[in-house]
Amino acid sequence: MDAPIPVDNRTATATLHYQGTLASTVTTLTSLPPTNATAVSTAFTESLRSLNSKEYPARVPLKIDHNLLFTVGLGIAPCATCVNGTRLVADINNVTFVMPKISLLQAKFFNIKGVFTDDFPANPPALFNFTGSQVTNLRTTKGTRVYRVGYNSTIQLVLQDTGMITPENHPIHLHGFNFFVVGKGKGNFNPNKDTQKFNLVDPVERNTVGVPFGG
């Protein structure tokens, strides 16, 4: 938690007892790191590897069909009833999501028109120093916009955090799908250098990943 905003910091401690272990084993409590211990969290997650064995292979696809760069951050959107005529919103590639009244999959399956558009940008609309301190924010657009891919396509997605308005971490997850986390770092993504550091041998397979501030 890097954002300098108040949070609910109520905590609880629990003991997990595994079947087959000794009930008489003494439980030793340790002190948790502070909530802003990004270095500790990053060191732990980056040390994780998959088994990549015959029983649990890591089948990392090497042929990429779609190469996407998504900037994740906060934006400013017009709001007629808000102070100064704007409101703070979350956005990806400067687009903040508008919840449809009909599910996207239902609209796709039954070919219902007008529910969404398939013009979500594959890259940010403007390039800048994403992790730098920005004086103003690009005007954020609203819409139920999707990026359409074919069945069984392979997508390489780079999630680039931004320093817009305030720094914060972003958890990103998929419903019903897993993905390989082949790389992670801080600063602006460099496709000419950073892709050479990708772990294509034994990356972890997950459905949720944290996009740290500055990463």
Structural domains in the chain plus CATH codes:
66-211 (2.60.40.420)
Amino acid found at 48: L
CA distance 73 to 106: 29
Q: What is the 3-state secondary structure (H, E, C) of 101-127?
A: CCCHHHHHHCCCCCCCECCCCCCCCCC
What average pLDDT does the structure give for the chain?
Answer: 86
CA distance 121 to 109: 23
pLDDT computed for residue 203 by the predictor: 96
Amino acid found at 180: F
Taking only the tens place, the pLDDT of each residue in 3-54 is 555 666 677 777 787 888 887 878 788 887 887 787 888 888 889 999 999 9
- pLDDT-derived band at 75, boundaries 50, 70, 90: confident
Taking only the tens place, the pLDDT of each residue in 79-101 is 889 888 888 888 999 999 999 99
CA distance 73 to 71: 7
**Secondary structure (3-state) at 187:** coil
- In 10 A of CB 162, how many CB atoms? 28
CA distance 116 to 143: 8
CA distance 57 to 202: 9
CA distance 40 to 136: 32
User: Which residues fall within 8 angstroms of residue 98, CB to CB, at 6 or more apart?
Assistant: 142, 143, 144
